[in-house]
A and B are shown apart, each in its own frame.
Chain A
Amino acid sequence: MLRRTVNEFLAIGLCAFASLASAQNEIAVGYQLPLTGDNSQYGTLFKNSADMALEQFNASGKLPGTKVVIKYEDSKSDAKEGVNIARKFSDDAHILGVIGDFNSTVSMAAGQIYAEQHVPQLSQSASHPDFLKISDWQFRNITTMAVESPFIAKWMAQNNLKHYAVIGIQNDWGQSSVKNFSEEAATLGNEVVDTEFFNPGNRDFRSILTKVARSKPDAIVLFMFYEEAASFLQQRAQMNVQTVVYGGSPLYEPKLLQLAGPAANGLMMPSTFVAQSADASVKAYVEGYRQRYGSEPSMFAAQAYDATNIMLDAIVAAGPEPTRAKVRDALAATHDYPGVTGVTTFDPITREVTKQLNRMIVSDGAYKVIQ
């Protein structure tokens, strides 16, 4: 036992020495993400995908003679931690670009530092409209709720649904999603009859359901994450509320089906990433992910995979002597990038991302694309 421990220490020491030795031509990407705390399940998915993308990248020889590493820092989904990490990353000369954070609140807090220190920041999931408005150094790889919410509103209008109850989580993301949805619904001549916000962490939706049922909507729309949605859907079944339910893309998450069981059937949501896609790159990613981690990647995992690859490709494009400013310009030039979450283009002026959205439904306990 003791000898094994000693050996392990020696091994770790050797690794540390080796990494010191090769430090000269080392390029680093900073990744800030929640690895502990309430949102650590997302951070873990991000890290899984980023590790996978990095390994493939370093094996590909796109950057001969140089090894890229990713430095992970745990933000705990706390804005204060996020800012501290941003300072640390900005001071690290090896770091040419940063990926993260998970939610808009932390990404935006850290973004202030990156804007000031001129470090390119690419978030795989911050979808608040104001994130890109911080400075020219912010990018994102996720379609915003400014695109997704109206997409849902149009979809529902096409299905002849006219009166909606909207339920959103009370945070930046939830509020902007609900606002974008309600504006588009009004433009299309439809009516939001009830808007409900709940505190993050709430798991009892029965009084909201009772209230929503009283306003007799044609459909319920959920702007929340999969865990809350699972509780909501189960309680909806228990309270026998039959109204159809739509939701945002965070509800495309295989775990939701396990948690909610049959109560999830009929739920509809848009998604950029479809694990069942016939596309060769998606198939390779899903297969590789399953082999490494034993589960099917979710939309969030796929977002991180693409974000990491876009960042790594930007570093290649910024070569042979990449700097933070060159990486920024390379990111801004991202055009028709063939990722697993669809073909991605960053708008040259607004830096806003465009992707194809799919319509999805849960039927018989599985996600299916509506053709």
Chain B
Amino acid sequence: MMETDFLIQQLINGISIGLVYALMAIGFTLIFGVLNVVNFAHGEIYMLGAFVGLLLITTFAPPLFVVIIFVLAFGAVMGLALDRVAFRPFRRFRDEASMKSKAIREATLLSSLALSIVIREGVEKIFGSNMQVVPQDYLLISPVQIGSFSFASGQFLIFGLSMAMLVGLQLLLFKTHIGRSIRAVASNPAGAMYVGIHTENVIMATFAVGSMLGASAGIVVGLYQGAVFPAMGFAPGIKAFVAMVMGGLHSIPGAVICALILGIAETFTTSYLAQGWGDLVAYAFLLLTLIFFPTGIFGAARERV
């Protein structure tokens, strides 16, 4: 009995770590699915979301849902800015050769990486690299005891938020007009342009939505872990990237499931080996996936996003 309790508690811990990665992976995969480029600055949008949310909390102390709504709006603006600075300059060339050019794709990869470094170092210069003090009332770590299992209030919020994002995105993508346009651009940008879809608007909408998700994930996870600092987006960003690749690059549900697998793998590595082995196991999983499922676990389906 004791041992089962231990395993269930570790499973709970693992799922909550996995959900943190999943929150980040959703926006990340959405942007990749549509543009086919890795947005390295997603981790910095996540971090900026946390900083702006915290700034709002320390200046006005509004209720939490107001903070989240404000951060969502902020994320949308940041997404548009990110697109304008790091991605749009490379979409100047509208001929088919440029649209399929690998060199241009790689260039945006570097421009987003450059922007992410500029943002992170900039925030470090202003706020310092240390952890910011989060007012105790806003921390999402109030204990919730269910039977013999410990939960934190934030775990429920993170679970709710990731489910809402997942379902909301599916509804957006498959039930709305803009969703249909996004899917069209994702599967064939040139074709979408030929049939009269304003691809520029669709790409901007994707950045806005993806960054809204990223920024809100940042403030919620920051309050849950009590850790808001300039480099906070890096570690979960890498894990979200791994989850996306494992999930098949274009599948949002696939990325979420793989993020959960990573989280659970980490806690069980801690249970039977040590936390220090966690990354090794996560990357071993990635390698195994790539060897046995070269297109990712959920990558077989044709439909992107």
Contact = CB atoms under 8 A, between A and B. Distances in A.
Chain B contact-residue range equals 35 or more
Interface stretch (B72-80, B123-131, B208-216): B123-131
B270 A208 contact: yes
Interface stretch (A11-19, A31-39, A123-131, A318-326): A31-39
B128 A203 contact: no
B145 A240 contact: yes
Nearest to B269: A207
A238 to B, nearest CB: 4
B131 A259 contact: yes
B275 A196 contact: yes
B13 A170 contact: no
B124 A40 contact: yes
B227 interface: yes
Given A210-B13, A230-B226, A231-B227, A198 B267 contact: no
Contacts of B270: 196, 207-208, 211
B63 interface: no
Interface string A219-258: 0000000010011001101111000000000000001001
Given A40-B128, A204-B225, A240-B150, A211 B276 contact: no
Contacts, number: 107
Given A36-B121, A210-B10, A239 B143 contact: yes
A255 B276 contact: no
A42 to B, nearest CB: 9
B226 A234 contact: yes
A317 B33 CA distance: 67
Contact of A240 (B2, B124, B143, B225): B143
Interface string B132-170: 011010010111010000101000000000000000000
A103 B185 CA distance: 50
| Interface core residue of A39, A201, A210, A227 (most chain B CB under 10 Å) | A210
A197 interface: yes
Given A196-B275, A207-B271, A39 B129 contact: yes
B266 interface: yes
A41 interface: yes
Contact of A238 (B6, B20, B125, B152): B152
A44 B125 CA distance: 11
A261 interface: yes
Interface in B1-24: 2, 6, 9-10, 13-14, 16-17, 20
Contacts of A227: 130-131, 227, 229
A238 B143 contact: yes
A170 B178 CA distance: 48
Contacts of B229: 227
Contacts of A41: 128-130
A207 B13 contact: yes
Contacts of A196: 270, 274-275
Contacts of B278: 199, 202
A201 B235 contact: yes
A172 to B, nearest CB: 13
Interface residues of A, number: 37
B231 interface: yes
Given A230-B226, A231-B227, A198 B130 contact: no
A206 B141 CA distance: 11
A210 B129 contact: no
A262 interface: yes
B227 A199 contact: no
Given A204-B17, A238-B141, A240-B145, A198 B276 contact: yes
Contacts of A37: 124, 129
Contacts of A38: 129, 231
A198 B9 CA distance: 19
A129 B206 CA distance: 53
A234 B275 contact: no
A4 interface: no
A3 interface: no
Contact of A230 (B6, B131, B150, B279): B131
Contact of B129 (A36, A202, A238, A260): A36
Interface in A87-106: none
A238 B155 CA distance: 12
| Interface core residue of B121, B129, B152, B278 (most chain A CB under 10 Å) | B129
Interface in A101-129: none
A204 B19 CA distance: 12
A310 B93 CA distance: 63
Interface of B: 2, 6, 9-10, 13-14, 16-17, 20, 121, 124-125, 128-131, 133-134, 136, 139, 141-143, 145, 150, 152, 225-227, 229, 231, 234-235, 266-267, 270-271, 274-276, 278-279
5 contacts: A36-B121, A227-B131, A237-B141, A259-B133, A261-B136
Q: Shortest 9 CB-CB distances between A and B: which pairs?
A: A41-B130, A207-B267, A198-B275, A207-B270, A170-B276, A206-B13, A197-B276, A207-B13, A40-B129
